[in-house]
Structure 1
């Protein structure tokens, strides 16, 4: 089942009463707020909480003396929205009433209590003591209004009239009494004033004589005191002048001492500032010159140490290398000598083993090499100029002949060196 719901709101000057489903026998009462309601299942009633002003007129009401008077009162009433019980009572009584109907019921109720109080009081009591009358009406009516959920905020009498002239006569009698009392009071006041005048005049003469005497005495005392005061004043002025001079001298001395102290403090501060400046410059010199210089010196020392170490290591390495080279060279020489000795020995052994023919064959194989080496210088000559002074061969045949002569001397050279005569070992073709 789905219901359409709505929102009901009310201001702070009214109350909303919600009854029906979901509320049972206790309706919800909201003052200055909002609530969700379900139409057709819940009923919403509004009650105004504004203050209502009532003008209560009671014409021709007979007092306890039988005098007819008319009274007009003014009251302010309001449904009590702060008391839940009274609000519930008001909802039960005025739930379907308009503001005019609530105002009418309140006015009729208060007017009935006003008439009842008027009938129990005399005209004089009502006229002269309106406060008591208002309090009695307020107290009696409040009980009934609470039963309706309404509170009386205030009640006062606005006007009292009558058609018989009773109030006028009462006023006239009172006026006559007031006038009589006024005349009696005036006569007594005049008598008292005359007596007071005479007494005052006598007292005035006595006072004037006494005053003159007092003036003369006061004048004498004044002159004496003035002379004394003048002496005291002059003495005090002299003392004050001297004290002022002493005080001034003391203050000047203190000022001079303070100036001197200020100068001393300033000098001390200047010295401290100078020392701080010197310290700052020293720190700056230390940070800008000494520290970098020390750092550079340290760097150079480290570099020199490193260079020395490098040189030492290089010298040690060179010496060790030289030693190794020497050892290697000696070893190489020894090995070469051994190799050459072994080779010579082997060659000697081989040479001894070779026969004459083999030796000749080896020699012959070397002859072209020798001839090539002999003729090799001639291969590097670009131009040859030959001069002769006698008969004989000239030109290229001369040079070739000289080379052949060198080659013809080879057998003799070989024989001298090896003991082998290659000419004898030559095999005929």
Structure 2
């Protein structure tokens, strides 16, 4: 406590200042009044010569700002400027005599201008709750009046027009009350007599009919779409099944091909081996043919040619010798005839000379024929000897000489084909050529037998005959 004694004067000053501040604040609040944004201050009493007062009124209106108020000389009261709402439910009769209950709502407020605030202050200051009943009464009368001049159809179709007419008709009265209507809405129309319902029945029936038609149409279209969808589903399922079957078939084909790959490869290998063996056989046949030509045919041809040449040379020599002897004999006969003619007489010598010449010519012709026959006999004998010693070689030679004609005859049916398609590429060509060669091979035994018989028959027909010797007497007789 002894420590606080020096601070007691300071604390007393602080308390005095706080009390003074509170007193000043209360005094200022009493003197200076501020209006809220949604209210107007009505100041009555001493107004300093009506400055800021309404026309014809001894009070001051303050909105949105503040004003000094002299306590005891002036009174301040607040007038709310917020919105107010009144529900309407008015029994009316149309121009057709049809009873209708109109339900609506009116949203109103005190006007913002000074005249509206002044009118509302004089009528509703301190009793603003009465504004709703006053507004209801105003709109009730105008609604009945306006609806009485309209038909039910107009009321239904032109509610905005009805609301506009009611607002226009009540505008002057609402202005006198200092009120402004922000909104008037007709919410509903009650029809105790059922006129609206009956009025709507034809339209309802039409709408129901159109609705049923539309529903039926939609159902039909939906059924068609469902049928189309089902058809598409069936098609898709069918296509899927076909593809699955094709895939299964392809798989089975692949399996079968895989299973046949080994035997097919073996068969292909064997076929290639056969083709190679056939080629080797052809080469061996060609080699044998070359050997045959080298070892048999050419020597035989050379021997036969030599024999023919010797025979022809001998023939020519014999013919020349015979001709020479005949010439010599003729000359000798002529000489003898000349000599004899000289000795014995021309007639006898001439006859003998002619006889001798004729005999010499006969002998020369006979010698020439004999030499020719002997040469031909030697050629036939050489051919017969060649056929006897190596007949197969001669036949092989003849087959080799005629082989192009034989192969051409075997392939002759293909000459009449306009366009030939060979499958399997080179293998197909090899198969076709092998078939032709096989066909030629089938004919070779028959051709060999035919050639053998032909050669035997030709040899038999061409065997040398003994040339008959003409008797000298016959030649002489000639």
Q: Which TM class, normalised by the smaller chain length?
A: 0.3 to 0.5
- Normalized against structure 2, the TM-score is what? 0.35
- Normalized against structure 1, the TM-score is what? 0.39
